[in-house]
Amino acid sequence: MTVNLVAAWIGFLLGCLAGAAGGLFFRGEDWLGGYGSWRRRMTRLGHVSFFGIGFLNLSFALTARALGLADGLLAPSVLLLVGAVTMPLTCYLAAWREAFAHAFVVPAGAVIVAVALFVARLVGP
């Protein structure tokens, strides 16, 4: 699960960089259409998703390691990586073109299935 640990820390770094980039402009009331605009909300969600999915990857890897789990982890691992890449990407694409919001089914679905599979692995035989 080392790849999930690395993905978590890359997500944290990208979240910091995205926050710093957005922080250069956030004081402008009309930046990206104003505080409540779709574009600005999607940009904020993209920034936060780096951290959120990063924490899921970190928690997954550390839990698997702490419990000594070795099998039944490939699918949740891959799906969490898919979520880590596609969630911020979808957020930023949706900020650019609202039609990309339909693509949220990919990252949301990947993360939901990953967590469900991992929980099933934790409570299963």
pLDDT in tens, the chain (125 residues): 799 999 999 999 999 999 998 777 776 677 766 777 888 889 989 999 999 999 999 999 999 999 999 999 999 999 999 999 999 999 999 999 999 999 999 999 999 999 999 999 999 87
Sign of the alpha-carbon torsion through 89, 16, 41, 38: negative
- Render the burial of 29-57: b for 16+ CB within 10 Å, e for the rest: eebbeeeeeebbbbbbbbbbbbbbbbebb
Q: Where are the alpha helices (DSSP H) in 24-98?
A: 38-66, 74-96
Report the alpha-carbon distance of residue 32 to residue 38 in Å, rounded. Answer: 8
Q: What pLDDT does residue 106 have?
A: 98
Nearest to 101 by CA among 80, 87, 85: 87
Whole-structure pTM value: 0.91
Q: What pLDDT does residue 85 have?
A: 98
Q: Dihedral, CA atoms, 57, 65, 67, 117, nearest 10 degrees?
A: 40
